[in-house]
């Protein structure tokens, strides 16, 4: 019987109102940097570990250009632009409040500390969860089981007493089930197919209504 429900953040509870390529372009312009492509950003992201900020990613990217733009300034502009573009999915705030009446409710999100904490602050969600962890603060990120161990420890429940809700197959569904949690997969338009390791699959726009029903059905 579940005692805790843990959520991913991006694309599970909140979505950007603009696409990431547009956000990157706006941030680069605001920081006085040359135009940066989303593809180059993703390549640099794969090459660089990010814990506190995305500064190492932008240092890598800007090394290809003759520019006076500072990586820290671009990282800060990108962080602010993403946070300002983020909006909650319909009904998720009241859903989290209602779930906390019955369960321990947590958040486990991959990403650098400042970026993800800024998102929570902008959304007004700093106290929305019983525990909220950013993997930049931890030994490892999702899908490493140590990330899931950390959040269930914070919630004071066993892995088998927790359900994890997220949209990514590897980071969320595999990561959670490999760590002993049940998983609910959030299905995105044009996203990955339903994964059989998840106990349930819910459409992104139905998260607020569907997740509590699924969790209650697991009892």
d(CA 166, CA 69): 36
3-class SS at 110? coil
- Joined together, the tokens standing for residue 216 give 């209650």
First to last CA, the chain: 4
- Joined together, the tokens standing for residue 148 give 């899931």
CATH number of the 4-15+88-217 domain: 3.40.50.1000
User: How far, CA to CA in Å, does 49 sit from each of 46, 125, 136, 217?
Assistant: 8, 26, 9, 39
- 14-41 burial: b if 16+ Cβ within 10 Å, else e: bebeeeeeebbbbbbeebebeebeeeeb
Note the pLDDT of residue 53.
92
Note the pLDDT of residue 50.
79
Boundaries of every domain in the chain:
4-15+88-217, 20-85
Note the pLDDT of residue 1.
87
Return averaged pLDDT per consecutive 10 residues of the chain, 219 residues in all.
96 94 96 95 86 93 95 95 94 98 97 93 96 94 96 98 97 98 96 96 98 95
Distance from chain centroid for Cα 194: 19
Kindly compute the dihedral angle of the four CA atoms of residues 168, 8, 189, 77, in this order, to the nearest 10 degrees: -100
| Burial degree of 199 (CB within 10 A; 0-12, 13-18, 19+) | middle
- The dihedral built from the CA positions of residue 98, 135, 12 and 115, taken in this order, carries a sign that is positive
């Amino acid at each position: 019987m579940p005692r805790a429900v843990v959520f991913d953040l991006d694309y599970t509870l909140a979505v950007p109102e603009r696409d990431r390529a547009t956000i990157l372009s706006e941030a680069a312009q605001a920081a006085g940097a040359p135009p940066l492509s989303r593809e180059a950003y993703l390549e640099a992201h794969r090459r660089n570990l990010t814990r506190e900020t995305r500064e190492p990613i932008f240092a890598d990217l800007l090394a290809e250009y003759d520019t006076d733009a500072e990586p820290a300034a671009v990282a800060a502009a990108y962080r602010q632009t993403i946070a300002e573009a983020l909006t909650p999915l319909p009904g998720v705030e009241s859903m989290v409040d209602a779930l906390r009446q019955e369960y321990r409710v947590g958040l486990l999100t991959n990403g650098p500390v400042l970026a993800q904490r800024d998102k929570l602050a902008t959304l007004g969600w700093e106290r929305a969860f019983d525990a909220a962890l950013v993997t930049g603060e931890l030994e490892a990120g999702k899908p490493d089981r140590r990330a899931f161990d950390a959040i269930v420890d914070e919630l004071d429940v066993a892995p088998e007493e927790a359900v994890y809700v997220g949209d990514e197959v590897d980071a969320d569904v595999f990561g959670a089930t490999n760590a002993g949690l049940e998983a609910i997969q959030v299905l995105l338009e044009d996203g990955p197919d339903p994964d059989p390791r998840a106990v349930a699959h819910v459409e992104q726009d139905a998260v607020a209504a569907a997740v509590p029903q699924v969790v209650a059905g697991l009892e």
